[in-house]
């Protein structure tokens, strides 16, 4: 039997998810990529080896994951890391003291912390802007700017950045556009197709999808950036272990089918919450009432299970997150099981309060990661929790 090759997998996403980057194990024919739990590889002679010398530099399980996610994003090169944060850290190391980065003001809290408290200290400078407005991104670019870094949709306010417009801007100025695609996943949004240069993910979230590992990945098309990233991946060494790569790879196989269910549940719950008298505001790009719904529809083919709701006060938010029974109160998102969280005190606690308030990331905001459970059960759980939160 001739195995399908990666070149045959250019079209259908669900097929790529299952097959890209994977070949039967050459020594046994095992259909699943083994967990190559090894630190080193025996050389046949001095300088003679099979492309694997030391496992910080390369590992076959990691290779398979990197090829798989790169294929899903429509990119040529993937680099896996020990966390999404380590992926961001490595991308920022493409630059030097004195360089400037423009970032979305509503990026993940840990990204904001890494930029301001680690790389800021090392001499990179950052300007945070509301990247919903392309003009604000343009205005923040200086002769020292090397990269624009955005998340779309953002966490947890579901703001959308116009990827085509921002990519035109960065291309015209010869600088890079990096997109954290963790929320949408390549199932629903492929930023390389809109002209972005660097895609980042926390694989901890939807790509793995089962809340059983922490990891990150970077995907690029350009060979020159890939060469620098490969150098940095090895030189800084924040690589994932083979078992975590294997778990992420198991996750991506079902990405297409999981995202379909997250999306169906998410739409249903967002529509229902919007009509609920106990909810002041619903943030979900799939709702026609979302101020950027048309843009979201142009660059995304689905919206997933991330929904934020405004309850008006910390007391009501606390009452709700402590009352759900199916939705577990926990950090993180994107797993098959539903989670509920309070961004101001959890994921975004590291963002200064003045900045949170200015953005509308209030103490009354509650974030849902809608899982793939029965949607009726999820709605019943939210209903009883909202009743506890009162009006």
Residues that bind ligand PLP (CB under 6 A): 83-85, 108, 110-111, 151, 155, 180, 182-183, 202, 204-205, 214, 216
Q: What is 144-155 written as a DSSP string?
A: TEEEEEEESS-T
Closest CB to ligand PLP among 9 and 218?
218
Both tokens assigned to 98: 């004195």
Cβ-closest residue to ligand PLP?
84
Q: How far is the CB of 365 from ligand PLP (least distance, A)?
A: 16
Q: How far is the CB of 100 from ligand PLP (least distance, A)?
A: 21
Task: Yes or no: say if 258 and 372 are a contact pair by the CB < 8 Å rule.
Answer: yes
Q: How far is the CB of 147 from ligand PLP (least distance, A)?
A: 16
Q: How far is the CB of 158 from ligand PLP (least distance, A)?
A: 12
Instruction: Give Cα 201 distance to the centre of its chain.
Output: 4
Closest CB to ligand PLP among 22 and 85?
85
Closest CB to ligand PLP among 202 and 211?
202
Both tokens assigned to 76: 């040529």
Q: What is 85-151 written as a DSSP string?
A: HHHHHHHHTTS-TT-EEEEETTS-HHHHHIIIIIITTTT-EEEEE-TTSHHHHHHH--TTEEEEEEE
Q: Exactly one of 89, 180, 263, 363 is catalytic; which is it?
A: 180
Q: How far is the CB of 340 from ligand PLP (least distance, A)?
A: 15
Both tokens assigned to 54: 């030391």
Q: Exactly one of 58, 146, 205, 356 is catalytic; which is it?
A: 205
What DSSP designation does 204 have? T
Q: Exactly one of 16, 93, 108, 244 is catalytic; which is it?
A: 108
Closest CB to ligand PLP among 85 and 161?
85
Tell me, yes or no, if 180 is annotated catalytic. yes
Q: Exactly one of 6, 41, 56, 212 is catalytic; which is it?
A: 56
Q: Which residues of 332-362 are buried (b: 16+ CB within 10 A; e: fewer)?
A: bbbbbebbbbbbbebbbeebeeeebeebebb
Q: How far is the CB of 110 from ligand PLP (least distance, A)?
A: 5
Who contacts 387 (Cβ-Cβ below 8 Å, separation ≥6)?
278
Ramachandran region, residue 304 (left: φ > 0; alpha: ψ -120 to 50; beta: rest)? left
Q: What is 16-34 written as a DSSP string?
A: HHHHTT----TTT--SSPP
Instruction: State how beta strands 339-341 and 328-329 pair.
Output: parallel
Closest CB to ligand PLP among 65 and 279?
65
Closest CB to ligand PLP among 85 and 116?
85
Tell me, yes or no, if 108 is annotated catalytic. yes
Instruction: State how beta strands 145-151 and 176-180 pair.
Output: parallel
Residues labelled catalytic: 56, 108, 180, 205
């Amino acid at each position: 039997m001739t195995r399908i090759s990666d070149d045959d997998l250019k079209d259908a996403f669900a097929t790529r998810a299952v097959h890209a980057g994977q070949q039967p194990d050459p020594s046994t024919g095992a259909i699943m990529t083994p967990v190559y739990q090894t630190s080193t590889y025996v050389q046949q002679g001095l300088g003679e080896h099979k492309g694997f010398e030391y496992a910080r530099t390369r590992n076959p399980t990691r290779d398979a994951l990197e090829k798989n996610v790169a294929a899903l994003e429509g990119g040529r090169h993937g680099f896996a890391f020990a966390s999404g944060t380590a992926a961001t850290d490595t991308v920022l190391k493409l630059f030097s003291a004195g360089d400037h980065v423009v970032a979305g003001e509503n990026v993940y809290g840990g990204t904001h912390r890494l930029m301001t408290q680690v790389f800021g200290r090392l001499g990179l400078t950052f300007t945070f802007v509301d990247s919903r407005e392309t003009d604000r991104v343009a205005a923040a670019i200086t002769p020292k700017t090397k990269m624009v870094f955005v998340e779309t949709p953002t966490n947890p306010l579901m703001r959308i950045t116009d990827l085509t417009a921002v990519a035109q801007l960065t291309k015209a100025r010869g600088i890079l556009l990096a997109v954290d695609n963790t929320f949408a996943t390549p199932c629903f949004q492929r930023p390389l197709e809109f002209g972005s240069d660097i895609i980042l993910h926390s694989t901890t979230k939807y790509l793995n999808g089962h809340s059983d590992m922490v990891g990150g990945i970077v995907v690029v098309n350009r060979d020159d950036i890939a060469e620098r990233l490969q150098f940095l991946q090895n030189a800084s060494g924040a690589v994932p272990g083979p078992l975590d790569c294997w778990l992420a790879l198991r996750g991506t196989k079902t990405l297409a089918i999981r995202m379909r269910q997250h999306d169906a549940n998410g739409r249903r719950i967002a529509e229902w919450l919007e009509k609920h008298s106990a909810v002041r505001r619903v943030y979900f790009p799939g709702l026609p009432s979302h101020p950027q719904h048309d843009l979201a529809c142009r660059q995304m083919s689905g919206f997933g299970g991330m929904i934020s709701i405004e309850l008006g006060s910390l007391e009501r938010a606390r009452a709700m997150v402590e009352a759900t029974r199916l939705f577990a109160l926990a950090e993180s998102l994107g797993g098959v099981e539903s989670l509920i969280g309070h961004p101001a005190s959890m994921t975004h606690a590291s963002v200064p309060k003045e900045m949170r308030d200015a953005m509308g990331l209030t103490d009354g905001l509650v974030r849902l990661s809608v899982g793939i459970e029965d949607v009726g059960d999820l709605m019943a759980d939210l209903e009883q929790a909202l009743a506890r939160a009162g009006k």
